[in-house]
Amino acid sequence: MDEDFEYCGECTVCNEPVDLSDMGNCSECGSVFHWGDCGTWNNGQHMCQNCIQDKCDHDWEDIGNGKKQCTYEECQKIKDE
């Protein structure tokens, strides 16, 4: 591990260690995640992909490879089928 790595916990989405410089803290479940890769802003709050998928109530379309994408243009979240 890099000597500058500041461990903040395991990512709730991918289960990999999270560095402070790459950390998001989910406003919904309180877990840490890799900002940008495993979560982002959702309705003005930091949120992990797990909680984003649970909260999205838009329509979903199949995009292949076992994934679905939200059809709402401003949302465009992707989840596993």
Question: Which domains, from first to last, does the chain contain?
Answer: 7-80 (2.10.110)
Q: Do 40 and 29 touch, CB atoms closer than 8 A?
A: no
pLDDT block averages, 10 residues each, the chain of length 81? 86 95 94 92 86 74 81 65 63
Q: Among all chains, which residue has been given the structure tokens 């995009």?
A: 63
pTM: 0.67
Q: Are strands 60-64 and 7-10 parallel, antiparallel or unpaired?
A: unpaired
Whole-number pLDDT of residue 43: 77
